[in-house]
Amino acid sequence: MSDIIHTHEAPAAIGPYVQARRTGNMLFTSGQIAMDPKTGEIVSQDVETQTRQCLENLAAVVQAGGCRMEDVIKTTLFIKDMDDFGKINAVYGAFFGDHKPARSCVEVARLPKDVLVEIECIAQVPTA
């Protein structure tokens, strides 16, 4: 059995999926794109700004699931152009600081709403 996680601090799902599911002590998020949760608009065509918004949205979902970003154990990044890897990596590294989750990064042909980056994660829910 799993619990559906939802927060208004991150964009609502734009398809037949949920923001996240928590099962046992694990939280699995759906991919977050650079959509402003208040307006539903993509924040910018700048890859750094998009990456930051993805991570802020992801953090909101992770928090709604009872975790902190320090509880994230794995992320997957889907990026439109591997030439943007350095810029994305700089924002990602600053966001996570000393915490270093396992990570995969994959270049893809196209992403929802034609964004430049999408990020999902798996987190371990802390025990009380």
Q: In the predicted model, what is the mean pLDDT of residues 81-99?
A: 98
Residue ranges covered by each domain of the chain: 3-124
* Confidence (pLDDT) at 127: 87
Whether 66 and 126 have beta carbons less than 8 Å apart is answered as yes
Which residues does the annotation mark as catalytic?
105
Reading the block at residue 60, the tokens are 């909101």
* Confidence (pLDDT) at 14: 86
Query: pLDDT tens, 32-87?
Result: 999 999 999 999 999 999 999 999 999 999 999 999 999 999 999 999 999 999 99
Nearest to 43, CA basis, from 51, 29, 9, 31 = 51
Q: Spell out the CATH class of 3-124.
A: alpha beta
